[in-house]
Amino acid sequence: MNTLIAISGLGVFCLIAEIFNLRKAIVPVTILGLLAVLGTTLNLYSFGSVLDGKYSNMIVSDKLSSAFISLFILLTVFIVAMGHDVYKDHPTKISDYIAIKIFLLAGAVTMVSFSNLSMFFLGIETLSIALYILAGSSRLDIKSNEAGMKYFLMGSFASGIILFGICLIYGAMGSFDVTEISNASLSAELPSWFPIGVVLVVVGMLFKIAAVPFHFWAPDVYEGSPSLVTATMSTLVKVVAVATLYKLVTVLNLNLSFDNQDILTAFQLIVVIISIASMTIGNIMALRQKNVKRMLAFSGISHAGFMLMALLTVANSSTTLLYYTSAYALAGIAAFAVIITVTKNKDNEDIINFNGLGKTNPLMAAILTAALLSMAGIPIFSGFFAKFMLFTQTIQAGYLVVVIAGVINSIISVGYYFKLILAMYTKDPNEEKQETPFVYYAVGVVSILLNVLIGLYPSLVTNLLK
């Protein structure tokens, strides 16, 4: 709870700083504050699982939530750092933009540390409303307006589905407390509407992670939103949604609470189908894209399919999921640091804009190449080891067909990643080298170094949950 209060306080500071004309202090103070909160969060590991009775057991602090919160804070630091240059042309609005991102982080923290379904829904709405605003924040851009409206409408339907599911779960169990629901689901005969409520909640979360067949909003919203907002959706928001879905399945014992073995088998079969469909459709559609943000949107759909494999081995996949999401998010942040730089002041984000980048800006080209290789699962990057761990665990659980689909799709993904890499190194540049702000170099280099570091030393991440 202290982490949530501190993050919310940072958001309030951003708004107050505007009143006193302290705009130049907003980004550095926010970054320092987030790093301080990160240090505090990491210290929570020594306390184990703690429920604070003062807050009616609404928030739980344990190793799982603290590990993911630490990742969220790190990603937000990168996003806020890039915001200093992105929003320099809107000095009077920088406090609003940064504050919204901090409140989005507060919603993310709530989503992975809830111990009550009402708190879970509050976190979803806090995060979602912030994203609706950010997606449509470029008011004079018709694509941004479309992205904001489309995401608002689709997100509202998904939130309504989740809320309806929560109501059915409450009607079946008589409580919002996840511990009571978990215990009741194991010891009592379940009403027929409990699994219906579970399905609705899971469907709503599948929308949030853009898994097939709930992915249709993602390409248009990613393309139309400002690039920094797309970076936030592609990394922070997707990781939050996946971690929350995993926690829901875990704390509610959804993999154990069905007395009817046929229902459990059907649940696992559906996860297998959605996982394979997300990987396959995401990769095939990404091969057809010329716009880099749309390509990464479909790539994100594919990675959502990989992440869903963790739901097949819920009992022991928390470490693997944390490692995979860390590898994916760090590579995504590095990629968008380059994309924002290259496409700044451009009408679009087509691949042609990256022609010859290896000649005009070798360092940024190297950063983007490393990020794409990590997403494709090439050694020595952590993306390779993340997929290896995930595949190994899934094979041990007996889902060989999912792993075969994953390997085939990993090979397919090399096609569109290398299409962008070849454009950077084999095409002639379209224009002379442009000045690149230092912050993009810093974010790109640091995130890639962290990606390689956890690839060489996976224990830096995997030991966090031991």
What pLDDT is attached to residue 335?
93
Q: CB–CB of 461/71 below 8 Å?
A: no
What pLDDT is attached to residue 79?
93
Around Cβ 49, how many Cβ atoms within 10 Å? 12
Distance CA 294, CA 301 (A): 11
pLDDT tens track for 247-272 = 888 877 665 444 445 555 677 888 89
Q: Sorting pLDDT into bands at 50, 70 and 90, what band is 45?
A: low
pTM: 0.91
pLDDT tens track for 384-396 = 999 999 999 989 8
Q: Sorting pLDDT into bands at 50, 70 and 90, what band is 44?
A: low
Q: CB–CB of 307/325 below 8 Å?
A: yes
What pLDDT is attached to residue 165?
92
Around Cβ 176, how many Cβ atoms within 10 Å? 19
What pLDDT is attached to residue 101?
92
What pLDDT is attached to residue 116?
86
Cα 248 → chain centroid: 16
pLDDT tens track for 80-104 = 998 888 787 777 788 888 899 999 9
Tokens 């073995």 locate to 261
Mean pLDDT of 356-374: 91
Q: Is the pLDDT of residue 432 over 90?
A: no
What pLDDT is attached to residue 78?
93
Distance CA 4, CA 107 (A): 9
Span of 45-49, 341-345, 369-373 with lowest mean pLDDT: 45-49
For residue 85, the SS3 value is helix
What pLDDT is attached to residue 256?
47
Measuring CA to CA, which residue among 313, 306, 300, 288 is closest to residue 234? 300
DSSP string for 326-344:
HHHHHHHHHHHHHHHHHHT
Amino acid residing at 13: F
Phi/psi for 379 (5° steps) reads -60, 150
Buried (b) or exposed (e) across 69-100, using 16+ Cβ within 10 A?
bbbbbbbbbbbbbbbbbbbeeeeeebbbbbbb
Question: Which tokens go with 170?
Answer: 């409450």
Question: Which tokens go with 89?
Answer: 């042309």
**Burial class for 274, CB neighbours closer than 10 Å (0-12, 13-18, 19+):** buried
Tokens 């806090």 locate to 126
For residue 177, the SS3 value is strand
Question: Which tokens go with 314?
Answer: 């819920």
Helical pair 94-113 and 2-19, crossing angle rounded to 10 deg: 170
Phi/psi for 51 (5° steps) reads -105, 130
pLDDT tens track for 179-233 = 888 777 766 677 778 888 888 998 999 998 988 888 888 889 998 889 899 999 9
- Mean pLDDT (the chain, rounded): 86
Instruction: Look at the alpha carbons of 144, 157, 165, 51 in this order and tell me if their dihedral is positive or negative.
Output: positive
Q: CB–CB of 407/309 below 8 Å?
A: no
Q: Is the pLDDT of residue 5 over 70?
A: yes
N-terminal to C-terminal alpha carbon distance within the chain: 22
Distance CA 287, CA 414 (A): 10
DSSP string for 187-246:
HSPPPTHHHHHHHHHHHHHHHHTT-TTS-THHHHHHHHS-HHHHHHIIIIIHHHHHHHHH
What pLDDT is attached to residue 164?
93
Q: How many residues does the chain have?
A: 466
Contacts of 400 (CB under 8 A, 6+ apart): none
pLDDT tens track for 307-333 = 999 888 877 788 899 999 999 999 999
